[in-house]
Amino acid sequence: MEVDELDYIYSGVPTGYFSDIEDDNESELQEVSSDEESGEKESSMEGNEILHDRHSCAEESGEMHFMLGMTFANAKEARSAIVNYSVAAGVKLKIDPNEPQRIRARCVNEVSCPFNLYISKDGKKPGLAVKTLINEHKCFRHYSLSTASASWLAKYFKDRIYKNPKYTAQMMKHDAEKELKINVAIDKCKRAKRQVIQELDGSFKVEFSYLAAYAASLKRTNPGTKTEIDLDKEALKEGRKVFRRIFICFESCKRNWRNGCRPLIGLDGCFLKGVTTGQLLAAVGVDDNDQMVPIAWAVVDKENKNNWRWFLCWLAQELDLDDGSRLTLISDMHKGLLGSIQLVVPQAEHRWCARHVWANWSKKWNGGELKKKFWICAWSTFEEEFKENLEKLGKVSKKAAESLVWYPPSRWCRAYFSRRCHSQMVDNNITESFNSWILEARHKPIISMLEEIRIKAMIRISENKKLSDQWFNNWSPKSMEFFAG
């Protein structure tokens, strides 16, 4: 199936990534010695058959050390290991100029320090091996190393910058001093961060170009799955295909919700954490055992009425929600979402998350006693009970009680909930759990993120199926606890 590539919608990385980066020219020189291999007395491998495990490129810092016979795939890998060793041990090394078949590294203070490392071709075998090693230092530890270049720092701190857009050059400098015991200039940290951002920005753009092909692949390999990509209309007029938003709902998620969940859906949006700005909208169900069940999700540029209406229209179509008369929704009080629900599923019962009601109400009416009384009101089972509890709250503050009912109690108090979804849930913890569940994925480029969410959802469905197969009857453990209590 031929699928056109999509242009990258986001024009660049958010300001926060570059807030502490200046435009500097990097000048990083290794101390180099061109001395040839000498005839001094050294430990060597001549005539030796000692073999050691191959060097792992994963050893970035920490307890890096060399052994006779240690092998390397090529000179680049060997030089990388020498640099890692230099930083980990805090030693300044002279490294011979680039040669594809041999490398020598010695301490800069070679007159008084005997350390000597020689790596060369491993006979007829592929790769290089440590042939000579005097693994002894008589020099003091150094805290300023040219081997800890901006490129090396970029590699070491890459994951942290990926996961935290607010990770600054100053934080990098502090962590380098604490973890690596080295002093690095703030300008070098800025250059390192810039390298990571440039690499990251490139990977995000590449994944956006393959998004249409990824969506087509999902539908081809998961029959019944809905993927919908919406393009920017203004760009289309100019003959360009620019990504705007994507909706995904897997057939297995639809079946799981229809066959094993209450007619209750939590709705929420959360920010993406990576280079690209945007938000992820999600619809999450809850099964008989009160466990989170992912249903559908979408990536959009922002959380607004237009995007929520678009998301809900596709959700209603895929789940056959009609006008929502058999459905209960729970969400925060986002204005765009409130209006969209009225347009798409006007007959659905719409609950407001009590925690969000409290968060808004408590901006003016705060305090431990008021908070306690608020939650007693929210958990009231009958209307008369709610009125009594509201009256008790009024004794603490009459104006606070009057302002609380400005938020319609039918939205957040159990006493007014319908029985259609068989749930007394007053908060939207299921979507908060989902947002936390995918937190790590939200740092990744778009396809990597969507693929990780897909895998997590499929694993969860499988694991929940295995658990339900162990039930003693058709009632979930949570239901049995409720009846027993």
pLDDT in tens, 257-285: 998 889 999 999 999 986 667 999 999 99
Tell me which range, 196-210, 421-435, 463-477, is most confidently predicted by mean pLDDT.
421-435
Average pLDDT over residues 82-88: 88
Cβ 350 vs Cβ 420: under 8 Å:
no
State pLDDT tens for residues 365-402: 988 999 999 999 999 999 999 999 999 999 999 999 99
Looking at residue 124, what is its pLDDT?
78
Who wins on pLDDT, 310 or 126?
310
Average pLDDT over residues 121-145: 85
Q: Burial, 371: exposed, middle or buried (Cβ in 10 Å; 0-12, 13-18, 19+)?
A: middle
Question: Cα separation of 6 and 341, whole Å?
Answer: 30
Question: Cα separation of 357 and 31, whole Å?
Answer: 63
94 pLDDT exceeds 60?
yes
- List the one residue out of 201, 186, 209 whose CA is nearest residue 277: 201
Question: Cα separation of 63 and 180, whole Å?
Answer: 11
pLDDT band at 40 (very low <50, low <70, confident <90, very high): very low
Question: Cα separation of 425 and 330, whole Å?
Answer: 9
High-pLDDT (> 70) share of the chain, %: 84
Looking at residue 60, what is its pLDDT?
41
12 pLDDT exceeds 50?
no
Average pLDDT over residues 185-209: 84
Who wins on pLDDT, 167 or 416?
416
479 pLDDT exceeds 80?
no
Cβ 351 vs Cβ 290: under 8 Å:
no
Looking at residue 80, what is its pLDDT?
86
High-pLDDT (> 90) share of the chain, %: 47
Looking at residue 482, what is its pLDDT?
67
**Angle at the Cα of 54 (from 51 to 58), degrees rounded to 5?**
155
Average pLDDT over residues 403-410: 95
Phi, psi of 348 (to 5 degrees): -70, 145
245 pLDDT exceeds 50?
yes
Looking at residue 61, what is its pLDDT?
40
Tell me which range, 13-27, 279-293, 306-320, is most confidently predicted by mean pLDDT.
306-320
Who wins on pLDDT, 462 or 53?
462
Looking at residue 11, what is its pLDDT?
33
Looking at residue 14, what is its pLDDT?
41
Tell me which range, 22-31, 64-73, 106-115, 404-413, is most confidently predicted by mean pLDDT.
404-413
**Angle at the Cα of 307 (from 352 to 211), degrees rounded to 5?**
125
Looking at residue 100, what is its pLDDT?
76
Average pLDDT, whole number, for the chain? 83
Who wins on pLDDT, 214 or 274?
214
pLDDT band at 483 (very low <50, low <70, confident <90, very high): low
Looking at residue 20, what is its pLDDT?
54
Average pLDDT over residues 125-142: 86
18 pLDDT exceeds 70?
no
